[in-house]
Amino acid sequence: MPDTHEAPPTEREQHVLTAPVSTTSIATRSRTLSDSVPTTFGERVRDSIRYTRGRGALEIGIIFLAVLIGFIIAGLVAPNDFPFLAPSNLSGVISQSIPVLALLGIAAGILMIAGEFDLSLGANLGFSAIVFIRVSEEIGWGWGVAAALGSGIGIALVNGLIVVVTKIPSFIATLGMGFFWVGASFFVNGTAPAILSGAKDDVLTTLFVGDFGVFRMQLVWLLIMGVVGWLFLHRHKLGNHIFAVGGNAQAAKAISINPGRVKLLAFGIFGGLVAFAAILIAVRTNSMQPGSTVDYTLMAIAAAVVGGTSLLGGRGSIIGMIIGAALIRIIENGLILAKAPGFYIQLFVGLIIVVAAIFNKLMEGKAS
Amino acid sequence: MTETTAITEELLRVEGVTKRYGANTVLDDVSFTIGRNEVVGLLGDNGAGKSTLVKIMSGVVPMTQGAYFWEGTRYDGIDRQKTEELGVETIFQDSALVPQMSITRNIFMGREITNPLGLMKMREMDRITTEILDTVVTIEGIKSAKQLVGSLSGGQAQAVAIARAVHFKRSLLILDEPTSALAVRATEALLAYLRQLKGEGVSSVLVTHNLHHAYEVCDRHIVMNHGRKILDVRREETSVEELTAAVVEGAVGVERFRAGTF
Ligand SMILES: Nc1ncnc2c1ncn2[C@@H]1O[C@H](COP(=O)(O)OP(=O)(O)OP(=O)(O)O)[C@@H](O)[C@H]1O
Ligand SMILES: [Mg+2]
C-alpha cells in the first residue's frame, strides 16, 4: 500500500475493514466471467438463443411456424377446400398484405420502443397517399414520392414536437392530431377518392408493385427495409439510444443522451415508413378514399405487440414486428379461405392480439 | 469550521452553490474544492443534499446560483455534455441503468464503440465488458455480458454502474453510495480501487453513510447538514467520532464534540 496516512486503527474502525485495503482482494474471485465466454460455434449459438429468449421474437416465431405448417398441411390435404398454397393466394398474402402491415408494424414498433405511440398513423397514411396521388397527377410521380415522404415525416414530426415540447402523453396528442388529419384529407381532396391514373407508368408500377410470379415488389421492399431496420435498430448506436430512452429516459439523460432528440428521430422514422406504406397502397389500389385507412392504426400497433414490442417502451425487435404482422395476416387469410363469416375474422384477430400480449408479458419475466 | 490547508492542485471548485426546488432550498451557499489526486468524502444525514450536489457537479441538474470552476477556469451553464468533456464520471445513487438492455449496452450507452457508419462493434464491447467485470468489479453471479440488467440482483446492477464509471473515468470519479448494495468483498475491492486511482491521478468524491469506510479511504471530508456545508476537514485533523457527531447533530454536534461534551 503506497499511502502513508495509515493511522493505527481505533477500536471502532477495526471490525469494519479487517483485511488491509489492498488491491489483492480483487483477485480472490472464484469464477470469472471470461470463463463462460463462448468459444466454439455451437456454444455461441446456444448463448445467443439463451439471450434472445423472452425478448419476444423467438417465441412468437415458433407459434407462427406452427400455424404456417398447419396451413401448409391443410393446403396439401385439401387443396380445393383450403387453397392456401394456390399461387394467387400465396402471392397476395406473402407479397402484398403482409409487407404493408409489417412496414407499418415496424413504424409503430420503433416508436413504441422509444416509449411513444402515434394514433394518427391511419390518418397520416391516408393523407400522405392523397398527397402522393395528387402531386403525381400534377407534376409526375417522382415529385409525388418526395411529397408523400415530406408529408408523412412532417406530420409525424409535428406530433413529436408537440409531445416532446409540451410533455403531454403521445396518446392524447396523436389521437387529436389523427382526427385533424382525417379532416384535412377531406378538406384538400373532397369526399370523392383521389385517383391515380395518368401518372402511373411502367417504372412506377414495377418499382412498387411489380409482379414477378412467385413474389411481388412489396416483399422485396419489406426485405430491404427489414435488413436496414434491423441494422439501424439493433446494431446502430442511434438504435441503441432509442432503446435506452424508451427503457429509462432519466438514465439515458444522465449519460448525456438527449431524450427529446431521440424521440423526434423515432417519430421521423415512423413518418417515413408510414409514407412509404402509403405509396405502396396507393400504387396498388390506384386510389385513396379520405378516411378509409383509420383501421391501420390499431392493426399496426397490434402487429408490433403480437411481435413482442413492450407497451411500456424499451423492448422489441424488427424480426418480431414482421412476424407479428405475418401472424395476423396469415390467420386472417386462413379464416377467409375456410369461408368463415366476416365477423369471425375480427373475432379471431382480436383474440390473437390479447393472447399474444398476455403471452409476451409472461415471457418477459423469463428474459435473462 | 476548520479551514483546509492548501490543496495540492485544484481540479474542481464550486462557489456559492444554491439550489432551490420551488420555495424549498436544498443547497444553501455551498463552496468547496476537489484537488487533483484527492479522495474526498461527502457525508451527511438523509436529505442533507449530497445527491443534489453530486448531480450539480455532474452537470445533470442546473444550479440556481453559484459558479463552477474546472482547473481554475469558470464554466457557466454547465451541463452533462460539458462535464463529460472535462472528464467527470458519476455513479448515481439510483444507478441510472436501463433494465431492458444488456450489461454491455448499458455500459456503452451513449458512448458506443462504432465503425465510421455508426454501427456498433458488439464483440469488442462484450469483450471489454467481460474484462472490466472480471478485473475491477468483483461480483459473483453475473454469467454473461449479454445478460439483461433487469435480471441482475441489486448488487450486481450496482456493479454494472460501477463498471461503466470505471471504464470511462478520466479526471474525476463521483460515487453516490456506490457500496450500498455490495457485499463485504466487493466493497473492499472498490474502496481499495479508489486509493489505487489516486495513485493514477484520478480524483474521487465518495458519498457514503458508512463513516468508517469514509474515514479509511478519504483524504478529506465534507459534511453537509440541511443543505449547508458544516465541516470540511483533512483526514488527520478529524476522527470517526467527530464525523459521527457532525453527521448526526450538525454544526452543534461538532461544537459539542470539540468541547468534549458529545
Ligand atoms: N427533484 C427534486 N424536487 C424537489 N425536491 C428535491 C428534488 N430532489 C431532491 N429534493 C430534496 O432535496 C433534499 C436533498 O435531497 P438529496 O437527494 O440531495 O439528499 P441526500 O443527501 O442525497 O440524501 P440520501 O442520503 O437519503 O441519499 C431532500 O429534502 C429532497 O426532498
Ligand atoms: Mg442521496
Q: Are A297 and A101 in contact (CB under 8 A)?
A: no
- Give the confidence band of A52 by pLDDT, cuts at 50, 70, 90: low
Under the banding of pLDDT at 50, 70 and 90, the label for residue A87 is confident
Is the pLDDT score of B254 beyond 90? no
Whichever domain contains A143, its CATH number is 1.10.3470
> At A131, is the pLDDT very low, low, confident or very high (cuts 50, 70, 90)?
very high
B37, B57 contact by CB (below 8 A): no
Pocket of ligand 1 (CB under 6 A): B 21, 24, 26, 44, 46-52, 93
Please tell me which residue of chain B has the smallest CA distance to A28: B138
Mutation test of ligand 1: which of B18, B20, B26, B95 has the most ligand atoms closer than 8 Å to its C-beta?
A: B26
Q: Is A64 helix (H, G, I), strand (E, B) or coil?
A: helix
Mutate which: A49, A256, A262, vs B, most B CBs within 10 A: A256
Give me the pLDDT at residue A60, please. Answer: 83
Q: How far is B1 from chain A (nearest CA, A)?
A: 23
Residue B185's pLDDT is 82
> Average of pLDDT values for A30-43?
70
C-alpha A159/C-alpha B198 separation (Å) is 50
Candidate from B143, B151, B215 with C-beta closest to A36: B143
Is A25 among the domain residues?
no
pLDDT band at B136 (very low <50, low <70, confident <90, very high): confident
> pLDDT category, B9, cuts 50, 70, 90?
confident
Binning pLDDT at 50, 70 and 90, where does residue A10 land? very low
Q: Judge whether A40 lies within some domain.
A: no
**Span A348-357, pLDDT tens digits:** 878 888 888 7
Average pLDDT over residues A182-211: 91
The pLDDT of residue B5 is 45
CA angle A297, A303, A305 (to 5 degrees): 100
The C-alpha cell that represents A74 in the structure block: 391443410
**Among the bound ligands, the one closest to the CA of B176:** 2
Whether A71 is in a domain gets the answer yes
* pLDDT of amino acid A28: 43
Count of domains forming chain A: 1
Contact criterion met (CB < 8 Å) for B147 and A368: yes
Kindly give the distance from the C-alpha atom of residue B96 to the centroid of ligand 2, in angstroms, as a whole number: 13
- Please report, for chain B, the start and end positions of each structural domain, with discontinuous segments joined by +: 95-169
**Going by C-beta distance under 8 Å and a sequence separation of 6 or more, which residues neighbour residue A66?**
none
Quick: pLDDT tens for A206-228: 999 998 877 889 999 999 999 99
Mean local confidence (pLDDT), B97-119 = 95
- Average pLDDT on B101-129 reads 94
What residues of chain B, 14 to 43, have a C-beta less than 8 Å from chain A? Answer: none
d(C-alpha B126, C-alpha B131), whole Å:
9
**Residue with CA closest to ligand 1 atom 16:** B49
Say yes or no to pLDDT of A54 above 80. Answer: no
Whether A351 is covered by a domain: the verdict is yes
What would the grid cell of residue A295 be? 383501421
Centre a 10 Å sphere on the Cβ of residue B13 and count the other Cβ atoms it contains: 18
Please report the pLDDT score of residue A27 as a whole number.
Answer: 40
Q: Region A260-277: what's the mean pLDDT?
A: 98
Residue A33: predicted pLDDT: 72
Asked if pLDDT for residue A26 goes beyond 70, the answer is no
The Cα–Cα gap between A330 and A333 comes to 5
Share of chain A above pLDDT 70, in %: 88
Whether A256 is in a domain gets the answer yes
Average of per-residue pLDDT values in chain A: 86
Q: Is B123 touching A (CB cutoff 8 A)?
A: no
Contacts of B54 (CB under 8 A, 6+ apart): B42, B90, B92, B93, B174, B176, B205, B207
Whether B109 and A2 lie within 8 Å, measured CB to CB: no
Task: Give percent of chain A above pLDDT 90.
Answer: 62
Give tens-digit pLDDT for A111-127: 999 999 999 999 999 99
In-domain check, residue A37: no
d(CA B101, CA A245): 11
Q: What residue numbers bound the domain in which A92 lies?
A: 56-364
Burial of A14 (0-12, 13-18, 19+ CB in 10 A): exposed
